[in-house]
Amino acid sequence: MNTHISGNSALPMQSGNILIVDDRKENLFALKELLSPHCEEVTCVDSGNEALSLLLKDNHFSLILLDVQMPGLDGFETLSLMRKHPKTRDIPVIFITAIHKDEKYLHLGYETGAVDYICKPIDPVLMQSKVSVFLDMAINKQKLEGDLQQSIELEKAKQTILDHSSEGIVNVDEFGFITFANPASARLLDYDEESIEKKHIFKLLSPDLSFIGNWQQSSYANAIKESSHIKENNVHLYKRDGSAVTVDLSFGSYHKGKEKGGVFVFQDTTERKKEEEALLVLATHDSLTQLPNKLIFKENLSSSISRADRYEHELYIMLIDLDRFKKVNDQLGQYAGDSLLRDVAKRLMSVGRAVDFFARIGSDQFAVIFEDDSFNFDADMVANKLLHAMETPFTYDQQQMDISASIGIVKYPHYGKTADELLDAADSAMQHAKQNGRNQFAHFNTKDQPLMMDKIDFEYNLRLALTNNEITCVYQPIVDTDLNTVMIEVLVRWEHPVLGVLSPEQFLPIAQEIDLINDLGYRVFQLAIEQYQSWCKQGLCSEDVKLCFNLSTEQFFRKMIVNDVLRIREEFGVDLQQIVLEVKETTLLEDVEMTSQVLHELKSMGVSISLDGYGAGFSSLKLLSNLPLSYIKIDRMFNDVEKGVNQKILKSIHHFAHLFSLEIIMVGVETLYQQQFMQEVGIEYQQGFWIQEPVASSEIEQMLSLKTDTTS
Ligand code: C2E
Ligand code: CA
């Protein structure tokens, strides 16, 4: 086949790819040369078979030039196969034929699906312009198809958004009639989509349709006129049954050619309101006990203060801290702890009046505000009732839990003018109650003032006190019936650079809280033993004189005290026979088994144990028999021996102490009468201001040197 190619064309290049199918290589070459400048890509194959297999793999062609006369599959057969396959069906094909413009063939070609013929010899200009026209058409068609697809997808996406939006979307025409409503709007208002459409929007905005006539005066119609937006919160929409739903609503207007209208978008706020309310409860209430939290407590306290000022009525705050709550959590687990806290909250509330404001302000801390306009509020009685409420053991999962509380009481405005000041004062008083042995209440007292300082500063300074040598000791002798010093009690002091000398009760509770009690206890050991050894070296005291140290409950945990005693022996080479450890009854009762074990260990090392403050607590006889005690220090509460009852008590304690081979130390001896009484009854040892107040080491030195002078 000869391809006659003449001339060249000035047609612009077009996008699009052309496939040329011709069995003759020279034709392929010539056609490619002619067409390449006018399209993106020209691909050539030399048989119908190859064309079909290429098209099935890759159908990105915009136009095919197909030779009619080919060996194997001819042009007609190739085209009719192409038209059967969906992938190739729509590609335009131009036949190239040397067969004369015989009508029979022309018809056959068009029937098979060719779009045009180019006859050989090829007229390049004619071919290029035909190719150009078909490429144009093919490309436009592809673009249109693409656009159509895109707009179908866009439409689908819009529909999906409208269908799945949780917000109600309603379109109205300029007269306020609904032309479209999405499923959410129908759902929210209990209509089906079709029945909501065509309704007037005022049917949804007002149950009695009374607004309908006023649409043109409505703000929505106005917004359409002015192309503006409206936003409204807490609007009522009415459901099909007439009940109202509260929604947040926005209205946007549009002008599309002559068409005007607006879109209402609304959201049901009922659920959100519920969530907001729940969040508010969560932020202001304790989820465990449902009591208000500290934040709300303080807010309420501030309001109570204003009321107390305005109406001049009385105002009390009580801070209730559970004793050793951590033990319940550690031993019985957190669920038991939670259950206990819930039950404690209920019992505390049962004591108060409806007007009293209870809150849980810390993990094991509750607080109450008592406002009283009758001026006969008996704070002690109420505090006692609160303590009493805890007496019956609590149960969890058939386990019994015992718990007590320490209560701090403060009265407005004596010890604080603001909520924070009052809470701090109540906290100090509560610490006092703890220090006094727990399960009791204490009123705030000016002696606690240092604890009112900024607590953070106080804690920080207390830590520094150890390194700054501000921790010191005073000493108080204990004498026998002949008034010879047989023991010296060591009492700690903090020489605060600003506040002056602080007593242990003013800082020990904080030391306990910040876990400093062991370091502090050890420092007291070091200071006093060093001092004691210096007295012995100077010959001021015989080594029979013992040093008595006070212990806090915390020093028993993890057997810290055993370690400290061993450490002190190593550091100072002190004979442990010279050491007496004073233990409070409340410490022993904390965990009888553990403390008893520790005390036996200490005893076996040579240390003597003295039971401090006996009689103030449980006065358990069983304790006396089971523990390795040497001395009992009777609490000061019995030292008013002018009272007959106290005389009887002292005599009987003395009596049974002897049964257990224990010696008695009477403390708080403040008068000659007391001192003589003790001597008469035969109480072995005495201590108190009458004999000697606690004093600095230099004064003890003087006292001891006077004694040695008189005896030598
Ligand atoms: P405590 O051991 O029950 O009693 C000693 C307290 O009674 C001392 O108060 C002392 O000054 C006071 N006192 C002594 N004689 C009389 C008297 O005739 N009349 C009156 N009214 N009081 C008298 P202080 O020094 O304020 O100690 C208070 C508590 O602090 C002590 O009570 C003790 O439990 C504790 N404590 C003192 N030093 C230490 C220490 O180094 N470590 C520990 N853990 N606790 C200590
Ligand atoms: Ca003591």
Q: Name the domain boundary from 393, 417, 443.
A: 443
Residue 6 resides in a domain: no
- 27 Cβ inside 6 Å of ligand 1: no
CATH of the domain at 188: 3.30.450.20
Q: Rounded to the nearest 5°, which phi and psi values hold at 555? A: -70, -10
- 491 Cβ inside 6 Å of ligand 1: yes
Q: Both 460 and 439 in a single domain? A: no
Residue 277 resides in a domain: no
Closest C-alpha residue for ligand 1 atom 34: 550
Residue 35 resides in a domain: yes
Q: What is the atom index within ligand 1 of the atom nearest the CA of 690?
A: 18
- 689 Cβ inside 6 Å of ligand 1: yes
- Assess whether pLDDT exceeds 50 at residue 340: yes
Q: What is the pLDDT of residue 44?
A: 93
- 524 Cβ inside 6 Å of ligand 1: yes
Q: Name the domain boundary from 384, 419, 443.
A: 443
Pick left, alpha or beta for residue 172 (phi over 0 → left; psi -120 to 50 → alpha; otherwise beta): beta
With beta carbons less than 8 A apart as the criterion, state whether 214 and 176 touch.
no
Of the given ranges (35-44, 146-155, 319-328, 666-675), which has the lowest mean pLDDT?
146-155
Q: Identify the domain containing residue 75 by its residue range.
A: 17-152
Find the ligand nearest to 616 CA: 1
Find the ligand nearest to 668 CA: 1
d(CA 506, CA 465): 14
Residue 56 resides in a domain: yes
d(CA 406, CA 321): 5
Q: Distances from the Cα of 423 to the Cαs of 155, 231, 286, 466, in angstroms?
A: 65, 46, 18, 28
When pLDDT is averaged across residues 35-45 and rounded to a whole number, the result is: 87
Q: Rounded to the nearest 5°, which phi and psi values hold at 455? A: -60, -35
CATH of the domain at 114: 3.40.50.2300
Specify the higher pLDDT residue, 59 or 595: 595
Distance 646 CA to ligand 1 centre (A): 21
When pLDDT is averaged across residues 64-86 and rounded to a whole number, the result is: 86
Short-list 66, 34, 60, 32, CA closest to 47: 66
Distance 144 CA to ligand 2 centre (A): 100
When pLDDT is averaged across residues 226-234 and rounded to a whole number, the result is: 87
Q: Both 115 and 188 in a single domain? A: no
Q: Both 242 and 387 in a single domain? A: no
Residue 367 resides in a domain: yes
Q: What is the atom index within ligand 1 of the atom nearest the CA of 687?
A: 15
- 75 Cβ inside 6 Å of ligand 1: no
Distance 386 CA to ligand 2 centre (A): 30
Specify the higher pLDDT residue, 463 or 211: 463
Q: Both 244 and 335 in a single domain? A: no
Closest C-alpha residue for ligand 1 atom 11: 694
Q: What is the pLDDT of residues 582-637, one digit of tens each?
A: 998 878 877 888 899 999 999 999 999 999 988 766 666 677 778 899 999 998 88
- pTM of the complete model: 0.49
Q: Give the 3-state secondary structure of 406-475.
A: EEEEEEECCCCCCHHHHHHHHHHHHHHHHHCCCCCEEECCHHHHHHHCCHHHHHHHHHHHHHCCCEEEEE
When pLDDT is averaged across residues 377-403 and rounded to a whole number, the result is: 93
Distance 322 CA to ligand 2 centre (A): 25
- 612 Cβ inside 6 Å of ligand 1: yes
- 564 Cβ inside 6 Å of ligand 1: no
Residue 298 resides in a domain: yes
Q: Name the domain boundary from 152, 182, 197.
A: 152
Q: Both 486 and 627 in a single domain? A: yes
Beginning with the edge strand found earlier in the chain, give each strand of the sheet holding 405-412 in spatial order: 357-362, 365-372, 314-322, 405-412, 441-443
Average pLDDT of the chain, as a whole number: 86
Instruction: For residue 106, give every residue at least 6 positions away whose Cβ sits within 8 Å of its Cβ, in sequence order, or none.
Output: 117
Distance 336 CA to ligand 1 centre (A): 37
Ligand 1 pocket, mutate which of 448, 462, 491, 583 (most atoms under 8 A from CB): 491
Distance 469 CA to ligand 2 centre (A): 23
Q: What is the pLDDT of residues 264-322, one digit of tens each?
A: 999 888 877 777 777 777 778 888 999 999 989 999 999 999 999 888 888 999 999 99
Find the ligand nearest to 688 CA: 1
With beta carbons less than 8 A apart as the criterion, state whether 20 and 28 touch.
yes
Q: What is the atom index within ligand 1 of the atom nearest the CA of 551?
A: 44
d(CA 221, CA 175): 7
Distance 538 CA to ligand 1 centre (A): 27
Ion ligand 2 residue ranges (Cβ < 5 Å):
550, 582, 612
- Hey, what amino acid is at 93? V
Distance 402 CA to ligand 2 centre (A): 27
Q: Both 238 and 293 in a single domain? A: no
Q: How confident is the model at residue 244 (pLDDT cuts 50, 70, 90)?
A: confident
Q: Both 216 and 267 in a single domain? A: yes
Q: Both 291 and 359 in a single domain? A: yes
Tokens read off for 563: 């370690």
The distance of Cα 385 from the centroid of its chain, to the nearest Å, equals 34
Q: What is the pLDDT of residues 304-317, one digit of tens each?
A: 999 998 888 889 99
- 616 Cβ inside 6 Å of ligand 1: no
With beta carbons less than 8 A apart as the criterion, state whether 508 and 435 touch.
yes
Q: Both 140 and 116 in a single domain? A: yes
CATH of the domain at 490: 3.20.20.450
Q: How confident is the model at residue 8 (pLDDT cuts 50, 70, 90)?
A: very low
CATH of the domain at 383: 3.30.70.270
Domain total of the chain = 4
Residue 253 resides in a domain: yes
Q: Both 465 and 562 in a single domain? A: yes
Tokens read off for 199: 């309704």
Q: What is the pLDDT of residue 574?
A: 94
Q: Percent of the chain beyond pLDDT 70?
A: 92
Q: Both 265 and 289 in a single domain? A: no
- 550 Cβ inside 6 Å of ligand 1: yes
SS3 65: strand
Q: What is the pLDDT of residue 710?
A: 60
Closest C-alpha residue for ligand 1 atom 41: 492
Residue 393 resides in a domain: yes
Q: Both 258 and 306 in a single domain? A: no
Q: How confident is the model at residue 6 (pLDDT cuts 50, 70, 90)?
A: very low
